[in-house]
């Protein structure tokens, strides 16, 4: 649920960033409404689009926590 606090979400396809208006939990995912996406057809065009939060807007991890991206390439 904290994703709504990180500001604009960057799009994988390089399109205009998206701002979450509302978000709610569903069974295994979140359901979000984005500012400017006002009809079902516009929302369906976003299906499976990967969204990202720039690293500088994420909180620093605790001493015993890591972001997944920080572990890529690490050896056991």
CB 6 within 8 Å of CB 57? yes
Entry pTM: 0.74
CA distance 59 to 57: 7
- Contact predicate 45/15, CB 8 Å: no
Give 10-residue mean pLDDT values along the chain (76 residues): 89 94 93 93 93 89 91 88
64 HSE (CA, 13 A, CB side): 0
Domains of the chain: 2-71 (2.40.30)
Model pLDDT, residue 11: 95
């Amino acid at each position: 649920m904290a994703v709504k606090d990180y500001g604009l979400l960057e799009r994988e396809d390089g399109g205009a960033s998206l701002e979450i208006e509302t978000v709610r939990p569903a069974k295994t995912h979140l359901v979000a409404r984005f500012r400017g996406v006002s009809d079902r057809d516009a929302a369906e065009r976003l299906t499976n689009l990967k969204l990202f939060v720039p690293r500088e807007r994420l909180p620093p991890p605790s001493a015993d926590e890591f972001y997944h991206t920080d572990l890529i390439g690490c050896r056991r």
